[in-house]
Amino acid sequence: MLLCNGVTTTHDFWDGAVQRWPDRRLIQWDYPGHGTSSPAATPPSAHLPALSEICVDLLDTLEVEQASVVGFSMGSQVALLAGLEHPHRFDAVVSLLGPAGGLFDTALWGVGGRTAAALLERLPGRSVHLLHGALNLAARSPATYAAGRLLGLFGPETSKSDLHKVTTHLSRVDAPTVREMLLSAGALDLRPRLASLQPPLLIITGERDSFAPASTVGRPMKRHAPQAELIVLREGTHGSLFGHADLIAASIDRFLENTRSTGSGPV
């Protein structure tokens, strides 16, 4: 099972779920400019089509003929694109708390997301480092946890130590790479292609997720992919990988077992 992160996150964000998959062979990786991965060599190498190709390259390198792919947040777009472009390499796709449409279209009620997108598009190249520094300072503020709760970015299932993991990694990402990645994710809309996705699709969405809400992301995605299975986490927020790992891991396990028992997959 190949796990695709969200933008600005690293592979250790999956720790809660990984502990529940001791018998699975897991492939984890960090995007360019994330974790210990080098920054993107060129702007296009940070774009989502390139990231989806890395998914296939990883399978080739590890001599894995076929895998299931799970994408969290922006990783949902990466996983969906990999499944669309290389259906015979992926026997199942899981969209976890992430979109199929443009990343900013629905984030923070749409207004917040579109404002962030406009800022990224107009920001002069060198200024992206200043913005990154300002975000790091804000992330270290004692008020950050309360602000995140108020905005619905995460709920009580996310602890302050979980948030510290998020903010610590944020300080290490390569800002120009992240900017290219975000702009690519904002422009990518896979919804018109979902009906043609060959591998079985599981959509896990959070009712209280202000980044990828069930009302404007998860349920509409299901309408674009009527063949998909939809699971709505009633208390789910964007931080559910921390506090709802048991439920998420069990849901993915059940989906994969059902998929393999019925023999459904790429045709």
List, in order of start, the domains of the chain with CATH numbers. 2-262 (3.40.50.1820)
**pLDDT, the chain, mean:** 91
φ/ψ (deg, to 5) at 125: -50, -50
| pLDDT tens by residue, 146-201 | 988 888 788 888 888 888 888 888 889 999 999 999 999 999 999 999 999 999 99
* Pairwise pLDDT comparison (59 vs 139), residue with the higher score: 59
φ/ψ (deg, to 5) at 2: -95, 125
* Pairwise pLDDT comparison (251 vs 144), residue with the higher score: 251
d(CA 34, CA 46): 11
Among the ranges given (76-80, 104-108, 150-154, 177-181), the one the predictor scored with the smallest mean pLDDT: 150-154
Tell me: pLDDT of 140 over 80.
Answer: no
Amino acid symbol at 99: P
d(CA 245, CA 261): 24
Q: Name the nearest CA neighbour of 77 among 56, 52, 110.
A: 52
d(CA 83, CA 266): 9
Element (H, E) at 253: helix 245-262
133-152 mean pLDDT: 79
d(CA 254, CA 20): 13
Question: What pLDDT was estimated at residue 222?
Answer: 98
Question: What pLDDT was estimated at residue 11?
Answer: 92
Q: To the nearest whole percent, how much of the chain has pLDDT over 90?
A: 71
Residue appearing with tokens 């300002």 = 134
Question: What pLDDT was estimated at residue 267?
Answer: 38
Question: What pLDDT was estimated at residue 261?
Answer: 82
Tell me: pLDDT of 130 over 70.
Answer: no
Q: Residue 173 is encoded by which pair of tokens?
A: 């990402």
